Chain A
Amino acid sequence: MELVVFVILAIGAVGAAINVVLGKSPTVAGVNLVTTFLCLAGIYLLIGFPFLAALQVMIYAGAIMVLILFVIMLLDLRREEPGLQTISSLIGPVIAACIAAFLALALPDYKVSQANLPLVGNGQSASVGGEGLAESLFGTNLILFEVSSVLLLVGIIGVVVLASRQRKSQTERLQAHLLASEGGETR
Chain B
Amino acid sequence: MSEYLFLIPILPLVGAIISGVLHGMGGRNRNLAGPIATLAVFGSFVVAVLAFLEIQGQGHGETVHALHGEYFTWISIGSLQIPFALTVDQLSGFMALIVTGVGLLIHIYSIGYMSHDEGKARFFAYLNLFIFAMSLLILGSSFVLLFVGWEGVGAMSYLLIGFWYDKDDGWPAVAGQKAFIANRIGDLGFLIGMFLVFSHFGSLEFASIQSNQAAMGTWTGGLALGAALLLFLGATGKSAQIPLFVWLPDAMAGPTPVSALIHAATMVTAGVYMVARASFLFPPEALMVVGIVGGVTALFAGTMAIFQRELKKVLAYSTVSQLGYMFLACGAGAFSAAIFHVGTHAFFKALLFLGAGSVIHGMHDEADCFKMGGLRKYMPVTFLTFLAGCLALAGFPFTSGFFSKDEILWKTVEGNSGMAWTLWIIGIAAALLTAIYTFRLFTLVFLGKERFDPEEVKPHESSWIMTGPLVVLAVLALIGGVMGLPAWITDHNWIHHQISAVTTHVEPLGGRGIEPVDSHLEIWFALFSGLLAVFGIFVGWVLYRKGPAREEALAERKNPIWVLLYGKWFVDEIYEFFILKPMALLSKAFAWFDVHVVDGLVNAIAKSFQDLCSLNSRLQDGRMQTYALWMAGGAALALGYLIIQLL
Contacts and interface: CB of A to CB of B under 8 A. Distances in A.
In-complex A–B contact (CB below 8 Å): yes
Interface residues of B, number: 14
B639 A102 contact: yes
B629 A87 contact: yes
Contact of A106 (B628, B633, B646): B646
A160 interface: no
A91 B628 contact: no
A92 B642 CA distance: 21
A105 interface: yes
B643 interface: yes
Nearest to A103: B639
A87, A95, A105, A109: most-surrounded residue (chain B CB, <10 A)? A95
A59 interface: no
Interface string B613-632: 00000000000011011001
Given A105-B647, A106-B646, A109-B646, A95 B629 contact: yes
B636 interface: yes
B625 A86 contact: yes
Given A105-B643, A106-B643, A92 B629 contact: yes
B625 A88 contact: yes
A158 to B, nearest CB: 19
A85 to B, nearest CB: 12
Contacts of A103: 639
Contact of B636 (A88, A102, A106, A109): A102
A98 interface: yes
A34 to B, nearest CB: 24
Contacts of A99: 632, 635-636, 639
For this complex, into which size category does the number of interface residues on chain A fall?
A: 10 to 19
A181 to B, nearest CB: 10
B646 A88 contact: no
B640 interface: yes
Contact of A91 (B629, B639, B646, B647): B629
B633, B635, B636, B642 — which one has the most chain A CB atoms within 10 A of its CB?
B636
Contacts of B632: 92, 95-96, 99
Interface string A89-131: 0011001101100110110010000000000000000000000
Interface string A12-51: 0000000000000000000000000000000000000000
A109 B640 CA distance: 14
Contacts of A96: 632
Interface in B588-646: 625-626, 628-629, 632-633, 635-636, 639-640, 642-643, 646
A102 to B, nearest CB: 5
A91 B643 contact: no
Contact of A98 (B625, B628, B640): B640
Nearest to A99: B636
B633 A91 contact: yes
A103 B129 CA distance: 81
The 10 A-B pairs of least Cβ separation, nearest first, read A88-B625, A102-B643, A98-B636, A102-B639, A95-B632, A106-B643, A109-B646, A99-B636, A95-B636, A105-B643
19 contacts: A86-B625, A87-B626, A87-B629, A88-B625, A88-B626, A88-B629, A91-B629, A92-B632, A95-B629, A95-B633, A95-B636, A96-B632, A98-B636, A98-B640, A99-B639, A102-B639, A102-B640, A102-B643, A103-B639
Given A88-B625, A88-B629, A98-B640, 20 more contacts: A86-B625, A87-B626, A87-B629, A88-B626, A88-B628, A91-B629, A91-B633, A92-B632, A95-B629, A95-B633, A95-B636, A96-B632, A98-B636, A99-B632, A102-B640, A103-B639, A105-B643, A106-B642, A106-B643, A109-B646
